[in-house]
Amino acid sequence: MQSGKEPKKATEYFDIEDPEFQSSVDQGVMSDELSMSRIVFWSVATSVLIIGLIAIAYNLYKFYKFEKEFQQAVNVEYRELNNHRAENISRLSELQVVDEEQGIYQIPVDSAKTLLLNRYN
């Protein structure tokens, strides 16, 4: 009993007398026996690997961004601190007239220490 369907005949691209060679040419040198389980496995494994690499890259980006911002914040604070120190050192090492009528003068700290030691000795 036939179902009315004829079996598929392989497409012959060239008319070759050797049937094995003809089959190789028609099937692209090797038969197409695909293993779907292998295709799915390698597709899933590759996807997991790519997602893992993206996650690692994103976390590295966040880490280095935080480090850069932290370093910038520290540099700003130290710059301000150094400016204040330089300003205060210049105030402590300058000779200025505070009130000439009352005879109040600002002298460097080292000079003031020397005068105090000389006065007590």
Give the residue-averaged pLDDT of 31-56.
Answer: 91
Report the C-alpha gap between 25 and 16 in whole angstroms. Answer: 9
Q: What percent of the chain has pLDDT over 90?
A: 27
Q: Given pLDDT bands bounded at 50, 70 and 90, which one contains residue 62? A: very high
Determine contact, residues 61/69, Cβ cutoff 8 Å. no
The whole-model pTM stands at 0.40
Q: Where are the domains of the chain?
A: 19-120
What pLDDT shows up at residue 31? 59
What pLDDT shows up at residue 1? 47
Report the C-alpha gap between 90 and 84 in whole angstroms. Answer: 10
Instruction: Give the chain's mean pLDDT.
Output: 82
Report the C-alpha gap between 121 and 116 in whole angstroms. Answer: 9
Taking 70 as the threshold, does the pLDDT of residue 81 lie above it? yes
